[in-house]
Chain A
């Protein structure tokens, strides 16, 4: 059991304490840079920023309810070849899970990455975030985390957590070097910092933080939250299953899809470098459309919409980590996340796999055993 440390937040704003903590990590010799969400100077928007100068850490804001992208894609981009220095990355739990999947798919490397996972307070949909933050981003983040951590919830006016966050049963980072614990802590006194790996321990032991023990009420708070979220999730699974349980309902569910493929672009685990749906395979001959239309007297354009979604389910649902960026990216508000999480839950269960949990376990479709799944063989 590794020691736990506390990060004092007395007489300071929580974000300021976190900035001081990140600064102390960036000032270590072996850490070359830190990738962390930061309020952009030019617009009221929070984006991942790669910072090498400790003086640039003010306005860093990992607690904002902005979730413009799944940052695992950035970490993958940073680590696909040797970087030449260690980078600390501050990630939400779903971003960590996505990165774990990308590492398994050889689209990222963990060797020079130090993961700092932070208890996730959830996020709003992009459009809702802009409404919420409007003019005063800094104040809005404080308003958000104070409300969530005091148990008053994340809903303000007509704005509530994004659907993916409201059914997320994994708000605590699993695979991480350093954990920043917020739930169940008295944020006006201190928050929890825990090393989860020898790398994390070697970093934290040099920061001279006071030691502490994980309070019992943290575990209680987490259990309560996970139980609530799991219940919401299971309700969502049941509703989505009901709404798509035959082909007619599925086509209704996806009827407003315009084949923009934004969901695939936003998806952190849609791993193909070139998607088959944008290749010439789907650039059909003009006369082909006419033949298809003639078969039933009509054909909806663009074609291959349901085909695209079911294929994507077959290709990536075993890696789906439930971040909800697909729904966030949909211009027509199709509940993509609900469909994908519902199916992913089943496909991952079928292979006794949980995306993003164990970096050693191979993805289900990249391995096989000689004796397995006999029930799918034969015609009786």
Chain B
């Protein structure tokens, strides 16, 4: 599995984590190219079905990342996201998706360094988990 390069879908909020990713870029910090960012206005708009779709399409990991508690630009979207992640972590592992494949983090707009570090760590973790089985088999 040495050559396994995971695909990780990261849903990031416009105001905090996306801005942190931008800061990481403008600061010339590097992080693995396995992460595919999807910018959303707020983590509170991430319907569980986006995460489910990503996994069924073969994503090896999914990250949802938004503003720290209390910092949400829409007041409470990140709290709603946290409940949905809790829900998905009850459902997806029952069907063989390891809970570690789904992550929720809070990365603030000024945390460019932290963003790059978390992405590196996440890729290492998903590499040890190996490929998502949905990638290899026919999913109906």
Interface residues of A (CB under 8 A from B): 241, 244-248, 250-251, 254-255, 257, 276, 296, 298-300, 305-307, 310-311, 313-315, 317-318, 343, 346-347, 350-351, 364-365, 368-370, 372-373, 376-379
Contact = CB atoms under 8 A, between A and B. Distances in A.
A305 B123 CA distance: 30
A366 B87 CA distance: 13
B79 A244 contact: no
Given A276-B49, A306-B139, A368-B82, A314 B94 contact: no
Given A241-B94, A307-B49, A365 B118 contact: no
B134 interface: yes
Interface of B: 48-49, 52-53, 56, 69-70, 76, 79-80, 82-92, 94-97, 103-106, 118, 121-122, 125, 133-134, 137-140
Contacts of B106: 377
A350 B86 contact: yes
Contacts of B122: 379
A285 B135 CA distance: 22
A370 B69 contact: yes
Contact of A368 (B56, B76, B92, B103): B76
A64 to B, nearest CB: 36
Contacts of B92: 310
Contacts of A317: 91
Chain B interface mostly helix, strand, loop or mixed? helix
Nearest to B76: A368
Nearest to A380: B121
Chain A interface mostly helix, strand, loop or mixed? helix
Nearest to A346: B90
A245 B96 CA distance: 6
Nearest to A259: B140
Contacts of A306: 56, 139-140
Given A245-B95, A368-B76, A376 B49 contact: no
Nearest to B82: A373
A348 to B, nearest CB: 9
A16 to B, nearest CB: 48
A314 B49 contact: yes
Given A251-B140, A317-B91, 14 more contacts: A241-B94, A247-B96, A254-B140, A299-B138, A305-B140, A314-B48, A343-B91, A346-B90, A368-B79, A368-B83, A370-B69, A376-B82, A376-B85, A377-B106
A250 B95 contact: yes
B63 to A, nearest CB: 8
A313 B79 CA distance: 21
Contacts of A248: 96, 133, 137
**Which 5 interchain pairs have the tightest Cβ spacing?**
A246-B96, A314-B48, A368-B79, A311-B49, A300-B140
Contacts of B133: 246-248
